Amino acid sequence: MAFDTKPQVVEFNKITIPVKAVLRRLGYPPDGELNERVKPIFEGELKKAPEYFEPRGVYCILPTKSVNDRSVVLMDEKFRIRSRQVAKMLKDSDHVILFMTTLGPMLEEEVKKLFDENYMAEAVILDAIGSETADAVADELHHAVLKRVAEENAYRITPRFSPGYGDWPVSVQKNFLPACRGDLIGIRVNDSSLMHPKKSVSAVLGFIKKLS
């Protein structure tokens, strides 16, 4: 099976805010009642948050050249994964997918504005909404878009793994960005290897051929 190796940009029309995850991030029980002071602020930020969403993603499907217990080499050899944990996850994959997603810069600009104007509760809540919704965008690309591509071609997907976790250092972001073409959706990486916009996710996963 020959997949298209060119970067594929994905536009998301609608992303649902994972409200329970936002509550957990803020330290509230997912099914708990908010107090009378916090509840209207929380509901207000939930209502306005989608105005600041610009969810986009980009992915590349790249053939695997070799996998050993410490690294993964891709066919074009422009990007090599050096991580025991990632190599273990991808050991049965004959294609590796690099992807990046982002909510765009508008939400973090609004959060900064709220902090600057001393609306601390609103800023913290909106920031938490952004963080969890950014993960929801990554989930949508992983478990909807890429799962569908895999299944249409008789493959299954692996879990995903992001730079900065386990034994895969965040410093790989500098090479990950051009390999995945994250610039196509407005992502850049600074000197500290952090992504901007901040509400962005990068990850790798594998396609494994289904047995007949």
Check pLDDT > 80 for residue 57.
yes
Is-contact 163 170, C-beta < 8 A? yes
Helices (H), 94-119: 106-116
Note whether residue 136 is domain-resident. Answer: yes
In a domain, 85, yes or no: no
Q: Residue 17: its pLDDT value, please?
A: 97
Q: What is the pLDDT of residues 109-157, one digit of tens each?
A: 999 999 999 999 999 999 999 999 999 999 999 999 999 999 999 999 9
Q: Is residue 70 part of a domain?
A: no
- C-alpha gyration radius of the chain: 19
Query: 135 in a domain, yes or no?
Result: yes
Q: What is the CATH number of the domain that holds 125?
A: 3.40.109.40
> Tens of pLDDT along 144-191?
999 999 999 999 999 999 999 999 999 999 999 999 999 999 999 999
- Domain containing residue 13: 8-58+100-209
Tell me, yes or no, whether 120 lies in a domain. Answer: yes
Nearest by Cα to 103 from 171, 181, 143, 49: 49
pLDDT band at 199 (very low <50, low <70, confident <90, very high): very high
Looking at the 3D structure of the chain, how many domains does it have?
1
Neighbours of 165 (CB within 10 A): 13
